[in-house]
Amino acid sequence: MAEDLFSDLPPPSATLQRNTDESTIGGTLTKKDNAAPLNPPPPPVQRILKGALKKQKPSESSQEQAPQKRLRFKTTVDASETQIIEAMQKIAAHIRNPSKFGKASKLALQLVQAGSVKPGTADQFFSILEAAMSTTTACTDPSLRADYSLLFSSIQDIAKFFNTQQKNQLTTWTLRAVVANDLNTDDSFVFSKAAGRVKEAISSLPFASEEDDIEEATALTSANHQEETPEDERVGKASKNDEIETMQEDPFGLDELLPSGTKRVEKRKEKKDAMVRVKKAEDEHKRFLTAQREALILCLDIAARRYKTPWAQTVIDILVKHAFDNIGRFTAQQRDAIEKLWTSIREQMTHRKQGKSVTGKLDMNAFEMLQEKYANEKISIRHAVGGGGDRRAEQWLG
């Protein structure tokens, strides 16, 4: 009967079982040491399995975190200096072609970004730039402006690897390929910045001399003569002039026979080499100034063509006025071009002050244009009735 009463209850704990065994039921002390428990405790199988599962989890996680082999491909290729030079030669052969300039210029940029342009490869990379600027008009072509500007803007950091002559040439090319193209932009900030660079370049020019004017006057004829004369013939003439000069100093060639003749010949040669270096540096400086002046005239011409853009007019006024104030820094033909340019800009400034635009019409802002548009319009607040300005609205209103 007792077992039936407690059959539905959970098994007693160990403390309760011990107290129950030693307790007195009905005044009689009964020990149940040998008696079987009412509900034996469950076997610890679940605890063992649970512990086993807990021990297996770290092993599974460690297997998941174990490094796995992955396929990796090289994104860069280590090339020797010879391979880089060969690549530059191929780029130079294609970059002079306008249809291939876009792709070739991007390959040249990759060489710059990869650090392939070094003192050992700088001359070869300069040949790429020289080939790109072989046609001076290509850099201002509307379809190539962005690529030219990006290329010549990105090579400023590697200019330290070039010699003085190459740096001067790069300065001139930057004016044509970057600054001149920035003057064609629709961004007022970029336009103003480019105009400021032109002003600084004009201010840095030395004043032109009479010799510069004479050289400019004879430049076209001499250039045509040089194109007609083969290179070997020009070199032969130069060497012949050197022989004539030597014969004048020592007509019989006796200096070499004298004991001290060797020293005299060496000194004469050193003096001659020094004069050649000085003359070469002077000629290079003149060529640099000539090219820079021509590039600045190009920038002024491009800026003046943008005068129909309202927000650019004030900047162009200041730029051309600055060039006119420094007109003495240009040669004779360039001075004439600047004078004509300033005359045109000044006439347009006069039209603006009179309230006329560059097209001859009245110069109006947006408010004035709307004011003129609706000055003679008859507008009704009832769009369906009398919207056209007729008298039916008055008749309908009585």
- Three-state SS string over 153-213 comes to HHCHHHHHHCCHHHHHHHHHHHHHHHHHHHCCCCCHHHHHHHHHHHHHHHHCCCCCCHHHH
Residue 329 lies in a domain: yes
Same domain, 297 and 333: yes
Same domain, 246 and 140: no
Q: Which long-range contacts (CB under 8 A, 24 or more apart) does 328-333 make?
A: 328/207, 328/208, 329/202, 329/205, 329/206, 329/207, 329/208, 329/293, 330/205, 330/208, 330/293, 330/297, 331/208, 331/212, 331/213, 331/216, 331/293, 332/208, 332/213, 332/216, 332/217, 333/216, 333/217
Same domain, 297 and 397: no
Range 325-360 burial, b when 16+ CB lie within 10 A, else e: eebebbbeebbebbeebbeebeebbeebeeeeebee
Residue 146 lies in a domain: yes
Is pLDDT at 151 greater than 90 in this prediction?
Answer: yes
pLDDT greater at residue 38 or residue 10: 10
Is pLDDT at 211 greater than 80 in this prediction?
Answer: yes
Which residue in this structure is represented by tokens 């026979």? Answer: 257
Is pLDDT at 398 greater than 80 in this prediction?
Answer: no
Residue 260 lies in a domain: no
The residue out of 162, 182, 202 marking a domain boundary is 182
Find all residues with CB under 8 Å of 264, minimum gap 6, and list them. Answer: 255, 258
pLDDT at 247: 52
Same domain, 218 and 313: yes
Residue 203 lies in a domain: no
Residue 384 lies in a domain: yes
pLDDT at 150: 94
pLDDT at 132: 94
**Mean pLDDT of all residues belonging to the chain:** 75
Give me the residues paired with residue 29 across strands: 24
Same domain, 153 and 132: yes
- Give pLDDT tens digits for 342-354: 999 999 888 877 7
Q: Number of folded domains in the chain?
A: 3
Percent of the chain residues topping a pLDDT of 70:
59
Same domain, 331 and 369: no
Is pLDDT at 73 greater than 50 in this prediction?
Answer: no
Structural domain boundaries, residue 369: 364-398
The residue out of 136, 164, 182 marking a domain boundary is 182
pLDDT at 254: 55
Same domain, 293 and 393: no
Residue 130 lies in a domain: yes
pLDDT greater at residue 140 or residue 24: 140
Same domain, 219 and 347: yes
Same domain, 321 and 396: no
Mean pLDDT, range 36-47, rounded to an integer:
53
pLDDT at 25: 44
Residue 32 lies in a domain: no
Instruction: Kindly report the pTM of this predicted structure.
Output: 0.61
Is pLDDT at 262 greater than 60 in this prediction?
Answer: yes
Residue 75 lies in a domain: no
Same domain, 246 and 371: no
Same domain, 223 and 329: yes
Find all residues with CB under 8 Å of 131, minimum gap 6, and list them. Answer: 92, 93, 95, 96
Same domain, 310 and 344: yes
3-state secondary structure of 251: coil
Is pLDDT at 219 greater than 80 in this prediction?
Answer: no
- Give pLDDT tens digits for 156-190: 889 999 999 999 999 999 999 999 999 999 999 99
